[in-house]
Structure 1
Amino acid sequence: MQTKIALIVDSASDVPGEILAQYQNIEVAPMLVTMADGNTYLDRETIQPDEFYQQLAANDTLPKTASPTVGSVKAQVERLQEQGFTQIIGITISSGLSVSYSVFKQVAADAEAEMTVVDTKNIGIGSGLFAVYAEQLIDNGLAYHDIVARLQNAVADSKVYFYIPTLKYLRAGGRIGRVAGLLGTMLSIKPVISCDENGIYYPMTKARTEAKAVSKLIAAAVATAEGQPDFRIAVTQGVNPALLTKVVAELQARFPNQLIYTGNVSPALGVHTGPGLVGVAVQVGVTH
């Protein structure tokens, strides 16, 4: 009998849209986004990125976010069980940036299905690439525990780098991490931020202009991927499609035979990064 393995991810993991469209064994647990109008929305379900950024631009009051609730995640796991899935892999953004991992773990402890949760120590598309990897391993017929082990082994070598025009939103949202040291010069620098080994934001580099910051971002991504026998790469944006196109073109020129996933930042992440973001995720150390 074919192994029935499913995935459940939080919406802030920004799984590429083509993967969500291709596979029917993925549940996405929406983060909660409370906008300035006082209404609470389900991330990527009842509010989409374009609508989110329009509301963000129209209000001085910044939105707030919350992790998926235990009840909602439990309901999704039960739905997967009803569909015949007996083994479930949970994938979340960094436990250092959200309590989603703890929520998933709580649900896993009570689930009838065998469920293991992977803390990616990553965020956004960097976390989303773990779902891509998991689906490929499932397609290749690997056993559940082997898949989990390979995902966990990929955590240390999976990187995300993102340029944001301003630190205003990270500061306001309290997700500043080790980036706090830049606040004194926040008006005069363009940071490139990453997640450290504990999944906490830190300033990887900084520049005086957007062009130089993006150049450093691309250089970091290339350095991570270059020489690796196998890797995945993705580019994401927050209402900055022109910059995404530019970054994809430069990466494709460096890696002409590489599939490059693209996507946009979920509203739950946009709360903390604001408009204008472009990010690159690279997942290396992967085996099939």
Structure 2
Amino acid sequence: MPTYYVVADSGARFSHPRIISQYPVSIVPSIVTINGERYREGVDIQPDELLTRMAAMEGLDVQVSPPSVTDFIEVYLQLSRVADGIISLHPSREVSKSWYDAQRAAHQANVSCPIEVIDTRTLCAGYGMLVRLAAAACHSTADFETIVTRTRDAIDRVYAMYYVDGLDYLRRNGLVSDSRAILGTMLDIKAIVNIEEGKLIVTEKARSMGEATDGLLDFIMEFDAVDDAMILQHRPHISEQTRVLQDRLTVEFPGQHFPYGVYSALMASLIGPHALGIAILEAELEPETDDDDAY
């Protein structure tokens, strides 16, 4: 059986971190810069620590940079000593340079095994779901191209929605205009953000975060079947909104587990420290059968 590895940056969030550690996955830390001080995500600072600081200090300047080209080269060189192939997955190139830096690193590394660099066109938990899917395929599939195809095909089955309390970070990142942010703040309007084709799109507005559980439930009810799902919140301990959402989802999807976790530093830098969201990997459709084949 060939040996394949998956590389990802720390922007990937996993519903079951211990499970992902059982797979051949190498996580390269992103750099979080807070008011000029640099930290490695997942090493020097955890996402929940960042969110706590952001919530405590209004106007905190938070920038998240991907691993450097050199960082990726070092990982590729190390893995190439034992790997027959490497799949390198990255958050959407619309909001991160991770994919671009990995492309450069793959060309400069000069390793003997193939390196496939993939833009997942999503972020955070949706990104993590694709990493986990690719890792599981590496663990069970002998053909490298089959793993790559299976991973790429799954990208179009990832969806995410967030309810965001506070428009400041959305304004800073150009996701809402200054005038809209001012008006929204005056009227205490919350933003609803979707990830579509790798971009964060402010699609609707809500009057209160109390509407979030209803809105997120309606969102997931649009799907007939779900392979994976994760609720994203701003703190490590379960919030009351998350608990209510879990209870309601358990009724609607018997037997389906809906774990929760803190969203990533990159996501926090884009939407701010007060949000509730959900990421979904829709189940793959069964191939249609010709009725004539039944006879």
Normalised-by-shorter TM-score class = 0.7 to 0.9
Deviation by residue 1:120-153 (Cα, 9 ceiling, x = unmatched): 1111101111012112323332522111112111
Q: Aligned match of 1:244 in 216, 226, 242?
A: 242
The answer to whether the 8 Å contact 1:158/1:284 transfers is yes
2:108 is matched with: 110
* TM-aligned CA deviation for residue 20 of structure 1: 3.0
The change in CA–CA distance for 1:209 and 1:284 in structure 2 (over 3 A counts) is same
Change (3 A) 1:268 1:44: farther
Match of 1:73 in 2: 72
- Checking the alignment, whether the CA contact within 8 Å between 1:44 and 1:266 is kept in structure 2 is no
Q: Which residue of 2 aligns with 1:14?
A: 13
Q: How far is 1:191 from its partner?
A: 1.8
Choose 1 or 2 for highest CA Rg. Answer: 2
Matched residue of 1:22: which SS? coil
How many angstroms apart in 2 are the aligned matches of 1:71 and 1:100? 12
In 1, the alpha carbon distance for the partners of 2:131 and 2:259 equals 12
Aligned pairs for 1:128-143 within 5 A: 128-143=128-143
SS in 1 for 2:254: coil
**1:45 aligns to what?**
43
CA deviations on 1:202-229 (whole Å, 9 max, x unpaired) are 1233211112133112211221x2x23x
Unaligned ranges ≥5, structure 1? none
Counterpart Cα distance in 2 of 1:191 and 1:60: 18
What displacement does 1:105 show?
A: 1.3
**1:61, 1:205 → 2: CA distance?**
26
Report the Cα offset of residue 264 of structure 1. 1.4
CA RMSD of aligned residues (A): 2.3
Contact 2:25 2:135 in 1 (8 A): no
State the alpha-carbon separation in 1 of the partners of residues 270 and 164 from structure 2: 10
CA displacement at 1:59 relative to structure 2 = 6.0
1:189 aligns with 2:189: yes
Partners in 1 of 2:52 and 2:158 — Cα distance?
32
User: Are residues 1:154 and 2:151 paired?
Assistant: no
Structure 1 residue identity aligned to 2:272: G
Contact kept, 8 Å, 1:190 with 1:213, in 2: the verdict is no
The AA in structure 1 aligned to 2:61 is L
CA deviation after TM superposition for structure 1 residue 39, in Å: 1.7
Aligned-residue identity in percent: 22
Contact 1:238 1:274 in 2 (8 A): no
In the superposition, the TM-score normalised over structure 2's length comes to 0.85
Question: Quick one: distance in 2 between partners of 1:44 and 1:53?
Answer: 13
Q: Distance in 2 between matches of 1:160 and 1:222?
A: 13
Instruction: Tell me how far apart the structure 1 counterparts of residues 208 and 152 of structure 2 sit (CA, whole Å).
Output: 36
Alpha-carbon distance in structure 2 between the residues aligned to 1:33 and 1:110:
25
Is the Cα contact below 8 Å between 1:206 and 1:213 reproduced in 2? no
Q: CA deviation at 1:252?
A: 2.2
**Structure 1 segment 195-274 matched on structure 2, within 5 A:** 195-197=195-197, 199-223=198-222, 225=223, 227-228=224-225, 231-239=227-235, 241-242=238-239, 243-274=241-272
1:95–1:186 Cα change, 3 Å:
same
Counterpart AA for 2:204: T
